[in-house]
Amino acid sequence: MADPGYFSRKFVLRAALLLLGSLGAVGSGFLMLRTSDLSSSWLSVPGVVLSREITTGTLYMGRGGATGTCYQGIVRYSYDSPTGRWVNDDIYYGGSPCKQGDNGRKLAEKLVAPYEVGSRVQVYYNPAYPGQSCLIPGRSGDGKALLILGGLGFLVFLIYAGGRLVDRSLSTGEFADRERQE
């Protein structure tokens, strides 16, 4: 009979992937929040809006495939830094999110509305990497979403692994074997 303290490879692989995925999401969320906070202290220079548009894409969720159309507001602008002229399209640090449905289209339209082609804008750029810039510095919600997703994944890991430990302990008689030996 196999030692009840060992778990199947399938269980260990699933638990490890769940744990690594959730920790990766939490780490990425913290990094995004920290870096987006730092964008508030970037240097600012005048820039010019080159174009603005609403793009459409398809959202994919897991194995289920396409779940619908999403809309993203894009504002392309140029600016000069000490290292040369740059062109970018990040409104927020990390880019603007792709939102789904009619409300997503309205949000994308509202996001690009203040930026007329040819108008002057204030551009915030990273002095260490002048090609990294945004029009609206500061914290974006993307990092928060990753933190929440990672936290939920970690909670699922605890329930999955904890339930398996309880199941192994109670159903295999691991504690009863110890009592018999004494």
What is the model's pLDDT at position 176?
45
User: Which is higher by pLDDT, 96 or 51?
Assistant: 51
In this structure, the number of other CB atoms found within 10 A of the CB of residue 165 comes to 11
- Kindly state the average pLDDT of the residues 127-138: 91
What is the model's pLDDT at position 21?
83
- Kindly state the average pLDDT of the residues 86-110: 81
- Kindly state the average pLDDT of the residues 12-17: 82
**What residue spans define the domains of the chain?**
7-38+140-182, 43-136
SS3 content of the chain, % helix, strand, coil (to 5): 45, 30, 20
Q: Is 162 helix (H, G, I), strand (E, B) or coil?
A: helix
pLDDT at residue 142 greater than cutoff 60:
yes
Is the pTM value of this prediction over 0.75? no
